[in-house]
Amino acid sequence: MTSEEIVAKCQSSLGGDLVQAEVNLGDAVIYVSPEALPKAAEWLKNDPDLRFDYLSQITGVDYLEQDREPRFEAVYELHSIDHGHSIRIRVGLDEENPTVPTVTTLWKGADFPERELFDMFGFQVTGHPNLKRLLMPEDWEGHPLLKDYPLTIEEISFSHNPDHKSELIKTKSNQE
């Protein structure tokens, strides 16, 4: 089925929970609220002529600098092996406590990406079998991929141009 047909079918049968649906650069994209995600995902997987049985990836995005209303967003990319078409679900999460229900019951491959959402963005994934840090050490504070988390660049300590060197020596001396 082409992207337009997928979007039309989703609007017709998921109308209530769908916040918005569009075809963006040729891909079918639907926006769903977090509460409606399990139902929508269940329907997308089991509907006979959609059959999205392959979870391609889950991504987290922090829209702090673009000051969109729901600051966070979890993006699910699904693909159907038999029909060969794909869909992207974008779930907007608000800023206070971003929580999203788990989809590991539908696709067992969602275990690691959801743990990475928790580790890198701090999203609470309700119902996840063992939700703890994946990439960062256990005792790490903060979630690195948030926009307000500093990149912690380290100042270079050697420099060949003279004026920069004097300033470096000044900062180094008052550091000790």
Partner 1 sequence: MSVTEQGLLERDKDTMTLNMGPQHPSTHGVFRMILEMDGEIVRSSEPDIGFLHTGIEKTAEVKRYVHCIPMTDRLDYLSPPQNNLAFCLTVEKLLGLDEMPARADYLRVIMCELGRIGSHLVWLGTHALDIGAMTVFLYAWRERELVLDLNEMISGVRMMTSYIRIGGVAQDATPQWIQGVREFVDIFPAKIDEYESLLTNNPIWMDRTRGIGTLAREDAINWSMSGPILRASGVKLDWRKQRPYSRYDDFTFDIPTQEHGDIYDRYLVRIEEMRQSREIIKQAINQLPDGPYKIQDNKVSLPERDTLHTSMEALIHHFKLVSDGVKVPPGETYVPTEGPRGEVGFYIVSDGSNTPYRMKLRAPSFMAIPGMCHLMTDSFIADVVAIIGSVDIVMGEVDR
Partner 2 sequence: MGLIDQAVESIETEVNNLKLNAKDAFDQLGAEFSGAIYDSILTTKLGKIVGWAQKNALWPATFGLACCAIEMMAMANSRWDAARFGAEVFRASPRQADLMIVSGRVSQKMAPVLKRIYNQMADPKWVIAMGACSSCGGIFNNYAIVQGVDRVVPVDVYVPGCPPGPEALIYGIIKLQEKILNEAGTDKARQRVA
- In the list 1, 23, 134, 168, the residue contacting partner 1 (rule: CB under 8 A) is 134
CB-based contact 28:86 (threshold 8 Å): yes
Shortest Å, Cβ 167 to partner 1? 22
Size of the site for partner 1 (CB under 8 A): 36
43 counts as binding partner 1 under rule CB under 8 A:
no
139 counts as binding partner 1 under rule CB under 8 A:
no
From the list partner 2, partner 1, none, pick the one residue 39 interacts with, judged by a Cβ distance below 5 to 8 Å according to partner type.
none
54 counts as binding partner 1 under rule CB under 8 A:
yes
142 Cβ contact list (under 8 Å, min separation 6): 149
Residue 58's Cβ-count burial label (10 Å; 0-12, 13-18, 19+) is buried
Question: Whose CA is closest to 98, among 38, 14, 33, 20?
Answer: 33
From the list partner 1, partner 2, none, pick the one residue 169 interacts with, judged by a Cβ distance below 5 to 8 Å according to partner type.
none
Give the three-class secondary structure for 15: coil
Of residues 111 and 119, the one with the C-beta less far from partner 2: 119
From the list partner 1, partner 2, none, pick the one residue 111 interacts with, judged by a Cβ distance below 5 to 8 Å according to partner type.
partner 1
91 counts as binding partner 1 under rule CB under 8 A:
no
Tokens read off for 130: 């063992």
Of residues 81 and 151, the one with the C-beta less far from partner 2: 151
Shortest Å, Cβ 140 to partner 1? 10
Residues that bind partner 2 (CB under 8 A): 136-137, 140, 144, 149-154
Counting every residue written for the chain, the total comes to 176
- The DSSP bridge partners found for residue 54 are 79
Give the three-class secondary structure for 120: helix
